[in-house]
């Protein structure tokens, strides 16, 4: 298996200095109605309360800070995304005076696309899914002389790991925390923070059944690609796992669960009715996982990472109709 990129406490705390220059820590809230619904003592980490409505902004800020110091002559960057990573790069690039080109697949969330454009990014639509868009980003980087930024890298892990450090320091006695997996920076940051603090919290990754590459790979302990990633949870719509993130997940996670589309839609609705927060599919998936695990988690203190709230109105209309 590939080398791991787990972040140290010093690296996460240094990343926090960069992040907090642009945003405050996000809240972690104990919601009584969610606790009643699940039978657990539920704490939610609200990464929907960042300047871009998702946790990815932390990694973008740290990655671009690294780029400014390591490659000060870079004038333009390019990356691929389903939306939140792209917003984070556009947000950070604008503050550093660097141009950002973002490649998204056709049919991507129109409101995430609009947000990236509003942050000053050039948007390029290409391919059927994230993995094809990522290949095209590599081609454009060579053709245009742009610096290609990955969607998983060590600075991203330490950057997004700052939310986990906040969460675990605020609620250190969590029995289990559920974390959605896209390419893995979020769960790898959680594993890094948990280990750096010397805690025993169980970490469970969550994916969609329609994009189950990480669940299959976790069981096989090697990268297993899938033919498609057609889930409504665009933040988890990945066909090809990253080998470095998988190494950390296999070593540090308790399990990786796969959730149905209906379970994710229901959880999006529960977040709205029980907390009046919008949760996109990936952000709601941890709640769906807890509901499936409710018998084993009864009475335990449990953490849910609400990774983002950038759901488009058409999809959310489906949630309300349910």
Domain harbouring 125, CATH code: 3.40.50.1100
Same domain, 60 and 46: no
Domain identity same for 38 and 131: no
179 and 47, same structural domain? yes
> Domain for residue 122, yes or no?
yes
Domain boundary among 125, 148, 171: 148
* 236 shares a domain with 108: no
Give percent of the chain with pLDDT exceeding 70. 99
Q: Indicate whether 32 and 169 sit together in one domain.
A: yes
107, part of any domain: yes
Q: Is residue 2 part of a domain?
A: no
Domain boundary among 95, 122, 148: 148
Q: What is the mean pLDDT of residues 158-176?
A: 98
Task: Examine the fold and report which residue of 120, 148, 176 is the final residue of a domain before the chain moves on.
Answer: 148
One domain, residues 298 and 159 = yes
Model pLDDT, residue 130: 87
Whether 21 and 137 map to the same domain: the answer is: no
Q: Are residues 68 and 100 in the same domain?
A: yes
Domain assignment present for 19: yes
Strands 147-148 and 41-46: unpaired
Distance (Å, rounded) from C-alpha 100 to C-alpha 63? 13
For residues 46 and 74, membership in a common domain is answered with no
Q: Domain total for the chain? A: 2
Q: Which parts of 221-312 fold into alpha helices (H)?
A: 243-252, 261-275, 281-292, 294-297
pLDDT digits (tens, 9 = 90+) for 106-164: 999 899 999 999 999 999 999 998 889 999 999 999 999 999 998 889 999 999 999 99
Strands lying side by side in the sheet with 176-180:
28-30, 41-46, 301-306, 176-180, 202-208, 255-259
- Distance separating alpha carbons of residues 178 and 84, to the nearest angstrom: 19
Q: What is the pTM of this model?
A: 0.94
Can you give the residue range of the structural domain that contains 122?
56-148
Do residues 67 and 212 share a domain? no
What's the pLDDT at 5? 72
Flag whether pLDDT at 2 surpasses 50: no
């Amino acid at each position: 298996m590939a080398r791991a990129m787990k972040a140290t406490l010093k690296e996460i705390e240094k990343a926090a200095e960069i992040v907090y220059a642009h945003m405050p820590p996000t809240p972690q809230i104990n919601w009584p109605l969610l606790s009643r619904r699940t039978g657990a003592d539920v704490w939610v980490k609200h990464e929907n309360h960042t300047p871009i409505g998702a946790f990815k902004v932390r990694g973008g800020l740290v990655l671009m800070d690294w780029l400014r110091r390591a490659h000060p002559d870079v004038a333009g960057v390019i990356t691929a995304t389903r939306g939140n990573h792209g917003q984070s790069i556009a947000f950070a690039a604008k503050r550093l005076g660097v141009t950002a080109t973002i490649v998204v697949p056709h049919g991507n969330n129109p409101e995430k696309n609009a947000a990236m454009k509003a942050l000053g990014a050039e948007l390029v639509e290409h391919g059927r899914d994230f993995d094809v868009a990522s290949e095209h980003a590599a081609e454009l980087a060579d053709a245009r002389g742009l610096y290609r930024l990955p969607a998983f890298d060590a600075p991203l892990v330490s950057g997004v790991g700052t939310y986990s450090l906040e969460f675990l320091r605020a609620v250190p006695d969590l029995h289990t925390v559920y974390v959605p997996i896209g390419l893995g920076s979020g769960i790898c940051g959680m594993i890094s923070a948990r280990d750096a603090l010397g805690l025993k919290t169980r970490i469970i990754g969550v994916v969609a059944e329609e994009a189950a590459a990480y669940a299959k790979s976790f069981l096989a302990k090697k990268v297993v690609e899938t033919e498609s990633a057609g889930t409504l949870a665009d933040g988890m719509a990945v066909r090809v796992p990253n080998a470095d993130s998988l190494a950390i997940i296999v070593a540090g996670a308790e399990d990786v669960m796969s959730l149905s589309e209906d379970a994710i839609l229901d959880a999006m609705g529960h977040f709205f009715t029980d907390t009046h927060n919008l949760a996109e599919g990936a952000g709601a998936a941890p709640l769906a996982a807890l509901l499936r695990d409710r018998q084993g988690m009864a009475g335990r203190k449990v953490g849910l990472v609400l990774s983002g709230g950038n759901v488009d109105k058409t999809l959310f209309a489906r949630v309300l109709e349910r």
